[in-house]
Amino acid sequence: MDAVAFQFMQEAEDEEDAIEADMYNTQLSAALLITGAEASRDLRIERRNQTRNYLCRPQLQPNPRHTSGKRGLVLKKPKLLWVISTFPKQL
């Protein structure tokens, strides 16, 4: 009886090992497929950038409307008007 139980346990372990090996192979295949797709995408982007005649968003400069000096003057304008209006008028 011990030999039959041992053989049954051995077969169960072999099946578990086979299932784990299949799962590992499947995960490895998926990882290789994803890595290959990303590499292919990167190569395509590099090829397209060489012939592109326009700028894309990462290559553009920041919006000058947010950083210009004129905007700073416009924001300070009410204070300047208040200061000017408080001076006595000289004729």
Q: Look at the pTM and tell me if it is higher than 0.85.
A: no
Q: Which conformational region is residue 55 in: left (phi greater than 0), alpha (psi within -120 to 50 degrees), or beta?
A: beta
Domain coordinates in residue numbering, the chain = 2-86
Per-residue pLDDT band at 50 (split at 50, 70, 90): confident
For 5-27, how does the pLDDT look when each residue is reduced to its tens digit (9 = 90+)?
A: 888 888 888 899 999 999 999 99
Q: What angle do CA 61, 65, 66 make, to 5 degrees?
A: 85
| d(C-alpha 46, C-alpha 48), whole Å | 5
| d(C-alpha 45, C-alpha 51), whole Å | 10
- Dihedral, 70, 76, 77, 83 alpha carbons, nearest 10: -140
% of the chain residues with pLDDT over 90 = 31
For the cut 90, the answer to whether the pLDDT of residue 61 exceeds it is: no
Mean pLDDT value across residues 36-57: 87
Give the model's pLDDT for residue 37: 96
